[in-house]
Chains A and B, each alone.
Chain A
Amino acid sequence: MSIEINEEYFEKLALTVIDGEDEECVKLVNEGLDAGVDPLDAVEKGLARGIDKVGEDFGAGIIFLPELAMAADVMKQGTTILDERIKASGEKRASHGKVVIGTIKGDIHDIGKSVVAAVMQANGYDVVDIGIDIDVDAFIDALKEHDADVLGMSTLLTLPLMEMEKVIIRLKEIGMRDDIKVIVGGCPVTQEFADEIGADAVGFDAQDAVFKLDGLMGVNRSRATAQA
């Protein structure tokens, strides 16, 4: 028996994000699609409402990083299924932008980058986390593969800092620099350094990263958002 697409359905979908219930989310999304839900509505009236609430609660100190990260993950699983349908129908889902993020070559610190990725995701960005120890080619390949709007590079180490500049130089060489916003961060990254290598912004923590990204992408937020 197919389910009914109504306000209750969208609320349930939002709740799967809030509660971090990935299996339930995938199940509801698939059932919704079978019942003819508009995939754009499923994202905007369902999943996005959930993640907005999560962002608010995190900002208010009611929930914590693991809950935020799980919600972002559930959101991602749901949108991955829905995006295929949206794409097929020729429509475009509203997103603040697609970010490819990774820790640069020579650096294996994982956690800060992952926290930043989760907080960005919970704030309405589509984030592809490509991991640690990422060289120039791997960054460029990922940006192309995911048709990204933003490149995020993280490092906690001083020695390989210049790897960041190499990626930016390559972007220029292959004519992609104007299409990609670059945000960098991690403890040794200063504003002066970011200016020197020609990055568009530096995030000093996850919240600041979202704030700066909003500035770059022209996102205007009127309410408290997910912040770390």
Chain B
Amino acid sequence: MKGFDGKLVGSVHPITRDECKMVHDAAIRVLEQGGVRCDDERAAKMFEDAGCTLENNRELVKIPEKAVMDALAKCPGSFTLHGRNDPTKDCSIGTGEVHFCTVTGRYIDDIRTGERRKVTRQDAIDGTLMADALENVHGLYKPVMWLFDEEMICNSQILTTEWMKHTNKPGTWVYNTGAEHEVSDLIKMWQIAVGGEEEMRQKPHMLGHVVVNPPRVIDVHYTDWLIGFCDSGTPLSIESALMGGATGPATRAGMLVQCMVEIYSLVVQSQSYKPGHPLAFCSFNPAMDMRTGLWATGTPEYGINGGGIAAMAKYHNIPVVGFGMSDSCEFDQQTAHEKALKNYNYALAGLSWIIDLGGTAGFNLVSWPEMVLENEMVAYIGEYLKGIQIDEERLSVDTILKVGPLPGSYMKEKHTRKWFREEFFMPELNNKEFFESWQRGHVELQEKAKQKALSILDNHQSPVAAEIQQELDSYLDFCMQRDLG
């Protein structure tokens, strides 16, 4: 393992503005000379309308810089993901605010039995309630990947029903099964959750992900979703799914260039279809693990690439979001440090919506006690972000003059009483006991997290109005009747 020689300095963005320009120019060279492949006529038409050239039977799109710049100029610099019927849950994206969101998984470490098993419909409900209850969880990705105890047909519809029924926090969506009615059904359900089509257009509450299939293919399914998102007023998160060394180059700069090629092409496509539609650039790009081929999300390259995308977003005044995660296959030291480092780095780089909490192993595993622990990690990050506020009262000169030199203590000062709660961080679960007291007896951190999670599951009630829950259920009945008879 390489060591930290103490000579490196931190920077909020890993590249300078001049370097952003170099990355931009390189991406434009690729778009103009090589272009992107597109799989269907709808997408081809969108690119054509934006001034791009179509070659090879309209399958190859060459995108000139003007089309990119025109499209970027149409994108708003910020937007809001609204709490559903609850403005206290609003998250503003692109204004510098940082929000954290849960991640998804195919397996769960069962909180009651300790068994590792496939996720079910009940887990979707539990995961949603957990995220709803935890104060530093600002939004949700689908609480579990699929419902393994339900039919595959309508799986996304059942999942979405449970999700919308149990929280009002905003969410993030990547397409799921590709089933026939998936796009229209889910959008309909999101609309029901806020009282209608127009209500959702006014106050969008989902972030819709559109992904380029790397290298450089505009995929037909994602175009289905792009149209669905744009038509319903759902802001977009646009990303490349490249993996350095496999579907992207093996240099950090090269990865960033291809990310921008793929992101720019989606900017052009979406702004051609719906000018002015809000969007964010998204970080989702690891380097391949060169031994196993793993989609290695916990790596520094992934985090630093996110910083690079954030720099490019800032360069163009576009919001930026990203996926976090760790590669560990259990919840351990590796999960903790990979997540803490990446997420802090993401937060410093200004990512507005960080999708990471409660899961590990690249979308494979979730755990509710882990979500509790990461809720605490986010609190730490928030404290770091607060930095040091400088004003007359906080400079504390009068109190310093009054108390010192020794003997003298700040403990009984009014100034102390007034400020400590606001200025000092008091974690809820992390250990702050004296070594000797801890030795005499203690509850392990994991156990504390488990107890808190159990207490949430036993006590937390859904904040969603009963009528909305009923309406969601009836729409789901309709879908099930239609597809399963």
Give A contacts to B, CB under 8 Å. Answer: 61, 64-66, 106, 108, 110-112, 114-115, 158-159, 187, 205-206, 228
In the assembled complex, which residues on chain A have CB atoms less than 8 Å from the CB atom of B341? none
Q: Are B291 and A65 in contact (CB under 8 A)?
A: yes
The interface bits of chain B over 204-224 (1 if a CB of A lies within 8 angstroms of the residue's CB, else 0) are 000000000100000100000
**Cβ-based interface call for B290 (8 A):** yes
Q: Is the CB of B247 within 8 A of A65?
A: no
Considering the complex, give the chain A residue whose CB is closest to the CB of B243: A111
The digit string for B234-256, where 1 denotes a CB below 8 A from any CB of A, is 00000000010111001000000
B93 contacts the other chain (Cβ, under 8 Å)? no
Q: CB distance B178 to A205 under 8 Å?
A: no
A205 CA to B247 CA in the complex, in Å? 19
**A228 adjacent to B292 (CB under 8 Å):** yes
Give chain A residues whose Cβ lies under 8 Å from the Cβ of B152: 158-159
Measured between beta carbons, the chain B residues less than 8 angstroms from A228 are: 291-293
CA distance A171 to B190 in the complex (A): 44
Among A108, A111, A158, A206, which residue has its beta carbon within 8 angstroms of that of B246? A111
Q: B179 and A159: CB pair below 8 A? A: yes
Distance between Cα atoms of A205 and B245 in the complex (Å): 19
Assess the B245–A206 pair: CB atoms within 8 A. Answer: no
User: Which of chain A's residues has its CB closest to B291's CB?
Assistant: A64
Chain B neighbourhood of A66, CB < 8 A: 245, 250, 290
State how many angstroms separate the Cβ of A184 from the closest Cβ of chain B. Answer: 18
A228 to B292, CA, bound (A): 5
A108 B219 Cβ-Cβ under 8 A: yes
**Chain B residue, CB-CB nearest to A116:** B293
- Chain A residues whose C-beta falls within 8 Å of the C-beta of B246 in the assembled complex: 111, 114-115
| CA A159 to CA B156, docked complex, whole Å | 11
- Within the complex, the shortest CB–CB distance from A31 to chain B, in Å, comes to 32
Residues in B with CB closer than 8 Å to A206 are 292-293
| A205→B292 contact, CB < 8 A | yes
Additional A-B contact list (17), CB under 8 Å, known A65-B293, A111-B293, A205-B292 = A61-B291, A64-B290, A64-B291, A65-B292, A66-B245, A66-B250, A111-B243, A111-B246, A111-B288, A112-B293, A114-B246, A115-B293, A158-B146, A159-B152, A159-B177, A206-B293, A228-B291
* Partner of B290 from A65, A108, A158 at Cβ < 8 Å: A65
B213 partner, pick from A61, A108, A159, beta carbons under 8 A? A108
Q: Could you jot down 7 A-B contacts, CB within 8 Å?
A: A65-B292, A108-B219, A110-B247, A111-B247, A158-B177, A206-B292, A228-B291
Q: How near does chain A come to B385, taking the closest CB pair, in angstroms? A: 35
Shortest beta-carbon distance from A189 to chain B in Å: 13
Question: How far is B342's CA from A220's CA once the two chains are assembled, in angstroms?
Answer: 45
Q: Give me the 9 closest cross-chain CB pairs, A-B, nearest first.
A: A64-B290, A115-B293, A159-B177, A111-B246, A65-B290, A228-B292, A159-B152, A108-B213, A65-B293
B178 surroundings in chain A (CB, below 8 A): 106, 159
B interface vs A, CB < 8 Å?
Answer: 106, 146, 152, 177-179, 213, 219, 243, 245-247, 250, 288, 290-293, 295, 364
CA distance A158 to B288 in the complex (A): 23
CA distance A205 to B329 in the complex (A): 15
Q: How far is the CA of A110 from the CA of B219 in the complex (A)?
A: 14
Bound-complex Cα distance A106 to B175 (A)? 14
List chain A residues, Cβ under 8 A from B245. Answer: 65-66
Contacts of A64 in B (CB 8 A): 290-291
Q: How far, in angstroms, from A156 to B405 measured CA to CA in the complex?
A: 68
Contacts of A65 in B (CB 8 A): 245, 288, 290-293
Among A61, A115, A158, which residue has the most Cβ atoms of chain B within 10 A? Answer: A158
How distant is the Cα of A158 from the Cα of B243 in the complex, in angstroms?
A: 22
Q: Which residues of A contact B177 (CB under 8 A)?
A: 158-159
Q: CB-nearest residue of chain B relative to A111?
A: B246
Cα distance, A159 to B221, chains bound together (Å): 14
- How long is the Cα–Cα vector from A187 to B250 in the complex, in angstroms? 25
Residue of B nearest to A188 (CB): B106
Cβ–Cβ < 8 Å partners of A158 in chain B: 146, 152, 177
Least Cβ distance of B59 to chain A in Å? 15
Nearest-CB residue, chain B, relative to A205 = B292
Min distance, Cβ B468 to any Cβ of chain A, angstroms: 29
Give Cα A65–Cα B364 distance, bound, in whole angstroms.
23
Chain B residues near A108 (CB-CB < 8 A): 213, 219
B145 (CB) vs chain A CBs: closest residue: A158
Give Cα distance in the complex from A205 to B288, angstroms. Answer: 15
Query: Please, which residues of chain A bring their CB within 8 A of the CB of B146?
Result: 158
A57 vs B271: C-alpha distance when bound (angstroms): 50
Q: Within the assembled complex, what's the spacing in Å between the Cα atoms of A205 and B289?
A: 14
A-side contacts of B106, CB under 8 Å: 187
A65 to B247, CA, bound (A): 13
Neighbouring B residues of A110 by C-beta, 8 Å: 247
B residues in contact with A114, CB < 8 Å = 246
Residue on A with the closest CB to B245? A66
Across the two chains, which residue of chain A brings its CB closest to B293? A115
What is the distance, in angstroms, from A110's C-beta to the closest C-beta of chain B? 7
Chain A residues near B247 (CB-CB < 8 A):
110-111
Task: Specify which chain A residues have a CB less than 8 angstroms from the CB of B213 in the assembled complex.
Answer: 108
Complex CA gap A61/B106 in Å reads 30
> Chain A nearest CB: distance from B285 CB in Å?
13
B179 → A minimal CB distance (Å): 7
Expressed in whole angstroms, the Cα–Cα distance for A64 and B243 within the complex equals 16
Contacts of A61 in B (CB 8 A): 291
Cα separation A158 to B156 with both chains bound (whole Å): 13
Q: Which residue of A lies closest to B217 (CB)?
A: A108
Q: Min CB distance, B120 to chain A, in Å?
A: 14
A213 and B344 alpha carbons, distance in the complex (Å): 45
Roughly how many angstroms separate A110 CA and B291 CA in the complex, as a whole number?
17
For B292, the chain A residues whose CB sits under 8 A away are: 65, 205-206, 228
- Most central of B219, B245, B364 by chain A CB within 10 Å: B245
Q: How far, in Å, is A70 (CB) from chain B's closest CB?
A: 12
A149, B17: Cα distance in complex, Å: 56
Q: Tell me how far the C-beta of A56 lies from the nearest C-beta in chain B, rounded to whole angstroms.
A: 15
- Complex Cα distance A106/B219, Å? 12
Cα-based distance from A22 to B413 in the complex (angstroms) = 77
Q: In the complex, A106→B178 CA distance in Å?
A: 9
Chain B residues within 8 Å of A106, by CB:
178
